[in-house]
Chain A
Amino acid sequence: MRFIQGEVLENRPLSRDFFLLKVGGKFPEAVPGQFAMLFPSPSLEPFLGRPFGIAMQEEDSLLFLIKVVGRGTFLLSRKKEGESLAVIAPLGKGFSYHMGRTLLVGGGSGVAPLIFLASRLSGYTLLYGARTKEEVFLEAFPHLKGRAEEVVVVTEDGSAGRRGLLTQHIPAGDFSMAYVSGPWAMMREFSRLYKGEAQFSLETRMACGFGVCYGCAVRIKRGGEEKMVRACVEGPVFKGEEIIWIQG
């Protein structure tokens, strides 16, 4: 991991709420599932960085698929080409690869780390959930479909693919591993319905992103006991059987 003053190489809107941000810098090699902290402002406001799963790594750049959900992501959406942008990357523990037929499950902006993962796998089944067809980005990332054996698109309004929630359309099949990334509620429901082995990329509120503040800790089961671990260091990817879905 490295703290870098990067440079915005590209900022392209993909839909009303989503945009693609490409940031240049000498980043160490990342593993799919790892994330970066992006700092929306060089001033003190907003104060903290924002964590985003790495959507692709190219030579000397990282790609992010970001949804505008608040002030920080709004400011990032306004970054111009050539502007400098502070980044800490790569962070956390990514997915571990499995041989055989795999299932990639991504909902909303959670699909980002799976885009990166898909570039390292092939013959997978992709289950892609979004609100509406404008938020299905198969064309922006042609390899998603190109390397897949099957793609199942689910939109809440039925404007593309099947209608409903992603978790209502889990493909049957003998998968050696499911890689899941999306909103907490979606992943929790998926884990309830899906009985095979799975890895989940957890979305938690974070402050530092690199392990010093313990703000992102989640309760997990490991080695027969419950413990609090930092999603930013020990995660964000966890094995399905480790995750305690109701944290409170």
Chain B
Amino acid sequence: MYVYADNAATTAMSQTAIDAMLPYFKDNFGNPSSLHSVGQAAREALDNARDKVAACLGCEAREIYFTSGGSEADNQAIISAARLGARKGKKHIISTAFEHHAVLHTLAKLEKEGFDVTYLDVRQGHNITAQQVKDAIREDTCLVTVMYANNEIGSILPIPQIGAVCREAGVLFHTDAVQAAGHLHIDVKEQNIDMLSLSGHKFHGPKGVGALYVRRGIALTNLIEGGAQERGKRAGTENIAGICGMAAALEEACAHLDENAAKVTALRDRLIEGLSKIPHCALNGDPVNRLPGNVSFCFEGIEGESLLLLLDMKGIAASSGSACTSGSLDPSHVLLAIGRVHDVAHGSLRLSLCEYNTEEEIDHILAVVPEVVQYLRNMSPVWRDLQTGKRQYIL
């Protein structure tokens, strides 16, 4: 048995998404900007896809801009809001300490340009409150950008409440909804969201395509100059197949959202309950307001990369926030932001589920993970020191 439990990294494409894409590789290969009938067929497909995505978010089709993915959407939303703010002398931005790097690195770039960024503390409950946002808003705040749900630890942020706070204060509100779209109910009008980013491959759509919702009246700054595609705001011939695949996948995910969430939540809760029995571990993320598919733990005395390699050998694809897997010397900034110290952040494991996972797969994970954790602890000098009292348990 091989269990794919890394759906927060990417998902398998659905047959619906594949079927929606195939015609646009060969038979219907036109460029939507062409006037002839081949081009116009592609134009129609593009328009239909935009309608579908808009319907899933509760906005108008003209408020949807297709991008190359979530990162581009995040970059463009934040840069645009910053340029609008700067024109009015407003150069303060509010975000959180556990955003995705697409947001954090864009904010770091703006800080170098003289913007002031407040990163809200996420240690309390591994989440933020709308009150924290309200308290951080200043006269010169031009943007609040907080993620809809965290990719590593699964916390769902109080987006409608934050939206209300921002609307009342007259501050633009962007949310990186890459982990939420297709999994949680989103209604940008009801939730007072001004800008929202999403990515196709997180809900069984294709990679390399995403979307940015921008409320009518907010002027976007172009990141890519060229032709007049996407209302002149994002140049480049449209990725028609990708866009159609993403739209079909999102439509399907939203149509089955409640049933999928119920099924995946039940699998998740079984997994959390079972893994919690491993001694000296801790659940990362908000235990209540949590993505249906997210399971994230820190296990004391072991290191995440060796855990992942062994799990892969034993038929489980998972992820970790250890330094060795992050490609840097530091463990995940998300785990550090919620207050996990380096020693335990190195021993993190994320299992992210989707509706394709089964009860049998959960049984397999529950049988393998405790065994592998114990195996690694048995060869760990840190674990020995903890057991013999030479080192104090943190978890």
A binds B: no
Contacts from A to B (Cβ < 8 Å): none
